[in-house]
DNA sequence: ATAGGGTTAG
């Protein structure tokens, strides 16, 4: 303790105008302290930055700014007010010769919840190294929050260490912020460990943990914790319930959701807009638009989130009209509302409408597309094979200087791959610096679907040199790449490595891939053995893969067995009927084929109509079987006749094994084949695209044997490159050959 | 002498 203490008290010498009083100060050991000056009280009432600046000026004039306490008040006001002129606050801060801990904390806090949380950490470091101040119990929650925003696991762990060594190691606020931090970084086990280690927990501790579990996708754990909270007689609040509702939505458990809703009412938990929106969202996620609508109509306050949530509800039910209407009724449409509509179309099998809406958005000029919009639009392009538009979006992203987030990169790679331009996909992949597991996985998928299995494997190996860990999707894509290229040994090897090397338990999807790999290569016994000894029940995809193998290798008994199993799991799977009937047709069992058709008709199943699309000058033209709705239909059929004639003279004989029904007349059989949508698309491509451009066709189903042969021959006879994407993969037709090596 | 943590749609 200082023993020699000089104390000087100075009073104002004379009364001045009351709004401009002289400061009252106390000097201790040559350091001057000012009493709470009336000017400082004005700071709280500032409503404009100009007010702030005026007070700042006055403070400088009367020397109040040199008082650290007063300066810290100014920092606080400029950094944390609604106006939040953080930049200004920082400049003011830099003028303070010896900022006190309070000023540091105010700025660190403000940066933590700003758009640049990294600056919070930089300020923190600056404080550690360039000042004498040490962090206190207020500092830690801010910097930990900044680390959470940045998902900076290492930084947060370091802070955790500092906390443990300091005196604030058991501060409730600090520990709560650590729970939130670990949960945000996806380390729920670490978050939970902090939670359990706490000597005391308050409602925020529970909320952080519950919300953490809910957002991390662990609905059960979140709900379990909610019950645990009840057992401890701790009163849940609105934030708790928001977390619980989010978990309900994930579980899609309407019963329980309704119970939670009534619980909120029963316990008198004070409602607010966010909570109400969460209730609405829960009903939508649980699939009850009726409950959602009832609640929505009763809501007094509604914001864009409420409207958008309701819109999504309609869209999920496939009620696009209601969604559209609601969109029009909203007080205003922000970009999120547009995004909801666009992605609703895109994710519910209506990519064309998604692009039409995207177009509408651009014409409206009210709001600008953001990266979410572009991801949805790119995905719609990918589905349609609309590469002109996809490429345009790519340019748009570059021109607008929009950041290539991993999400966007993934969407671009996927779009280019699925539109058939693998080279462009690789260019995008190679040009970006940040690659997360999805970026890598999409590139592996791209190589795989184009039959470049060896390259896909090499990329996977390269991925392992980075810190990015493969996930289940990566492995599925890798295995499917092996399957498309017939790489049996590699496929088997990677499958066996899954659990021991990559720590991923093989799921139904990966089993299906391996069955496909083995089956395609003709190892039917091994495939059957695998299916029979699976530790998990074989899903429809596994039986489907086996059935596909039977189609290739013509094993009737096994095909019937697989088909039975498949239909038991998915009675509506028309693909199963089609595959089996292909197998019957191949072995000439036309009676069985018609029997199957009868069965299909009786169970109200229709074969999904085949359709093929070609993009010309940014417009996607779609063709159905025997389609003559196209304006150039006459020309297309003339071209088709010419194609067939040229093919015939070069020795082509139609392959009818994949007709779905027995057509008696030979000529009619041929006609049915000629009318296949991919042939119409091909004819249209030939007349409307210049010879230097490849013809890109997207087919919704698998390409049939005959169309495959025709495309090969056409590529040679007309010297054209043809890129056809079917349901499973790409076929590059060039000079009479196909990249799939006739193996698909 | 001043202060802090957890929250919904896409």
- Kindly indicate the confidence band of residue A596, based on its pLDDT and cuts at 50, 70 and 90: confident
Question: Which of A335-344, A478-487, A706-715 shows the lowest mean pLDDT across its residues?
Answer: A706-715
Distance A391 CA to B9 C1' (A): 29
Distance A201 CA to B9 C1' (A): 31
Query: For residues A166 and A524, what is the distance between their CA atoms, to the nearest angstrom?
Result: 65
Residue A35: its pLDDT value, please?
A: 65
Q: Looking at the C1' of nucleotide B4, which residue has the nearest alpha carbon?
A: A138
**Minimum-distance nucleotide, CA of A311 to C1':** B9
Distance A43 CA to B5 C1' (A): 25
Distance A106 CA to B1 C1' (A): 16
DSSP 3-state assignment of A68? Answer: helix
Distance A48 CA to B6 C1' (A): 30
**Minimum-distance nucleotide, CA of A144 to C1':** B5
Q: Is the pLDDT of residue A664 over 60?
A: no
Query: For residues A647 and A710, what is the distance between their CA atoms, to the nearest angstrom?
Result: 8
Q: Is the pLDDT of residue A14 over 80?
A: no
**Minimum-distance nucleotide, CA of A73 to C1':** B2
- Chain Cα centroid distance, residue A55: 47
**Minimum-distance nucleotide, CA of A370 to C1':** B10
**Minimum-distance nucleotide, CA of A35 to C1':** B1
**Minimum-distance nucleotide, CA of A208 to C1':** B6
Q: Is the pLDDT of residue A412 over 50?
A: yes
H/E stretch holding A679:
helix A677-688
Give the model confidence (pLDDT) of A224-233 as tens digits.
Answer: 999 999 999 9
CA atoms within 13 A on the CB side of A144: 27
- Kindly indicate the confidence band of residue A33, based on its pLDDT and cuts at 50, 70 and 90: low
Q: Looking at the C1' of nucleotide B5, which residue has the nearest alpha carbon?
A: A173
- Exposed e or buried b per residue across A441-457, where buried means at least 16 C-beta atoms within 10 angstroms of its C-beta: bbbbbbbbbbbbbebbb
Strand B nucleotides within a 7 Å radius of protein CB atoms? 1-10
Q: Name the token pair of A695.
A: 């013809």
Report which of A454, A393, A372 is spatially closest to residue A462, judged by C-alpha positions.
A454
Give the model confidence (pLDDT) of A696-731 as tens digits.
Answer: 888 888 888 888 888 888 889 899 988 888 887 888
Distance A330 CA to B8 C1' (A): 18
C-alpha distances out from residue A290 to A10, A254, A276, A295, A310, Å: 72, 12, 16, 9, 10
Report which of A531, A355, A450, A362 is spatially closest to residue A734, judged by C-alpha positions.
A450
Tally of CB atoms within 10 A around A339: 25
% pLDDT > 70, chain A: 92
Tokens 């572009």 sit at which residue? Answer: A374
**Minimum-distance nucleotide, CA of A140 to C1':** B4
Q: Is the pLDDT of residue A194 over 50?
A: yes
Distance A606 CA to B9 C1' (A): 37
Q: Is the pLDDT of residue A51 over 50?
A: yes
Distance A468 CA to B6 C1' (A): 30
Q: Where do the H-state alpha helices sit in A7-100?
A: 38-43, 49-61, 68-80, 86-95
Sign of the alpha-carbon dihedral angle for A394, A397, A399, A403:
negative
Tally of CB atoms within 10 A around A168: 20
Q: Looking at the C1' of nucleotide B3, which residue has the nearest alpha carbon?
A: A138
Average pLDDT, chain A: 87
Q: Where do the H-state alpha helices sit in A81-218?
A: 86-95, 101-112, 117-130, 139-150, 153-165, 172-184, 188-197, 203-215
Q: Is the pLDDT of residue A214 over 70?
A: yes
Q: Is A67 exposed, middle or buried (0-12, 13-18, 19+ CB in 10 A)?
A: buried
Beta bridge mates, A724: A697, A731
């Amino acid at each position: 303790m200082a023993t020699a203490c000089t104390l000087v008290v100075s009073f104002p010498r004379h009364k001045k105008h009351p709004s401009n009083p002289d400061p009252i100060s106390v000097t201790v050991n040559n350091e001057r302290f000012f009493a709470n000056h009336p000017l400082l009280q004005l700071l709280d009432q500032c409503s404009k930055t100009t007010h702030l600046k005026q007070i700042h000026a006055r403070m400088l004039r009367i020397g109040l700014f040199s008082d650290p306490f007063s300066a810290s008040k100014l920092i606080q006001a400029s950094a944390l007010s609604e106006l939040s002129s953080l930049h200004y606050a920082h400049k003011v801060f830099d003028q303070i010769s010896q900022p006190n801990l309070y000023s540091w904390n105010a700025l660190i806090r403000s940066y933590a919840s700003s758009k640049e949380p990294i600056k919070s950490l930089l300020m923190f470091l600056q404080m550690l190294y360039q000042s004498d101040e040490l962090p206190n119990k207020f500092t830690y929650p801010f910097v930990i929050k900044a680390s959470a925003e940045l998902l900076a696991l290492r930084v947060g762990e370091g802070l955790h260490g500092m906390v443990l060594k300091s005196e604030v190691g058991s501060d409730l606020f600090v520990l709560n912020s650590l729970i939130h931090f670990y949960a945000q970084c996806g380390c729920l086990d670490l978050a939970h460990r902090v939670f359990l280690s706490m000597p005391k927990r308050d409602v925020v501790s529970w909320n952080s943990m519950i919300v953490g579990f809910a957002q991390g996708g662990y609905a059960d754990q979140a709900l379990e914790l909610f019950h645990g909270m009840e057992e401890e007689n701790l009163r849940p609040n609105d934030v708790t319930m928001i977390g619980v509702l989010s978990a309900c939505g994930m579980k899609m458990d309407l019963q329980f959701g309704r119970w939670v809703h009534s619980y909120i009412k029963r316990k008198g938990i004070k409602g607010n807009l966010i909570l109400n929106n969460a209730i609405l969202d829960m009903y939508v996620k649980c699939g009850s638009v009726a409950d959602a609508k009832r609640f929505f109509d009763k809501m007094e306050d509604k914001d864009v989130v409420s409207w958008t949530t309701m819109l999504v509800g309609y869209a999920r039910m496939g009620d696009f009209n209601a969604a559209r209407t609601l969109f029009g009724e909203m007080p205003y449409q922000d970009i999120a509302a547009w995004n909801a509509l666009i992605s609703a179309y895109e994710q519910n099998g209506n990519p064309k409408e998604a692009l039409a809406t995207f177009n509408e958005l651009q014409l409206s000029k009210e709001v600008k597309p953001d990266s979410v919009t572009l991801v949805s639009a790119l995905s719609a392009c990918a589905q349609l094979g609309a590469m002109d538009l996809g490429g345009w979006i790519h340019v748009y992203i570059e021109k607008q200087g929009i950041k290539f987030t991993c999400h966007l990169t993934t969407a671009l790679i996927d779009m280019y791959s699925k539109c058939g331009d693998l080279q462009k996909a690789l260019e995008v992949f190679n040009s970006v610096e940040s690659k997360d597991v999805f970026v890598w996985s999409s590139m592996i998928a791209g190589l795989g679907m184009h039959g470049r299995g060896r390259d896909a494997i090499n990329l996977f190996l390269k991925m392992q040199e980075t810190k990015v860990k493969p996930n289940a999707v990566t492995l599925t894509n890798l295995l499917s790449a092996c399957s498309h290229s017939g790489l049996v040994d590699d496929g088997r090897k990677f499958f066996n490595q899954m659990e021991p090397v990559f720590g991923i338990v093989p799921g139904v999807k990966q089993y299906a891939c391996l069955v496909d790999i083995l089956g395609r290569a003709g190892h039917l016994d091994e495939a059957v053995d695998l299916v029979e000894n699976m530790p998990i029940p074989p899903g429809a995809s596994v039986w489907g893969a086996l059935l596909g193998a039977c189609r290739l290798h013509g094993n009737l008994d096994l095909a019937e067995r697989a088909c039975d199993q498949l239909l038991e799991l998915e009675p509506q799977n028309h693909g199963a009927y089609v595959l089996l009937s292909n197998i019957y047709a191949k072995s000439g069992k036309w009676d069985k084929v018609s029997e199957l058709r009868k069965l299909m008709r009786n169970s109200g199943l229709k074969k999904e109509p085949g359709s093929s699309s070609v993009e010309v000058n940014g417009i996607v033209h779609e063709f159905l079987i025997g389609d003559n709705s196209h304006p150039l239909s006459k020309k297309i059929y003339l071209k088709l006749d010419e194609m067939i004639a040229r093919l015939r003279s070069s020795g082509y004989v139609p392959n009818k094994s994949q007709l779905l029904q027995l057509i008696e007349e030979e000529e009619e059989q041929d006609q049915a084949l000629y009318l296949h949508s991919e042939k119409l698309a091909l004819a249209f491509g030939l007349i409307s695209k210049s010879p230097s451009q490849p013809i890109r066709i997207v087919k919704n189903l698998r390409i049939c044997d005959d169309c495959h042969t025709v495309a090969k021959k056409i590529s040679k006879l007309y010297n054209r490159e043809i890129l056809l994407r079917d349901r499973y993969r790409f076929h590059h037709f060039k000079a009479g050959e196909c990249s799939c090596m006739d193996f698909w």
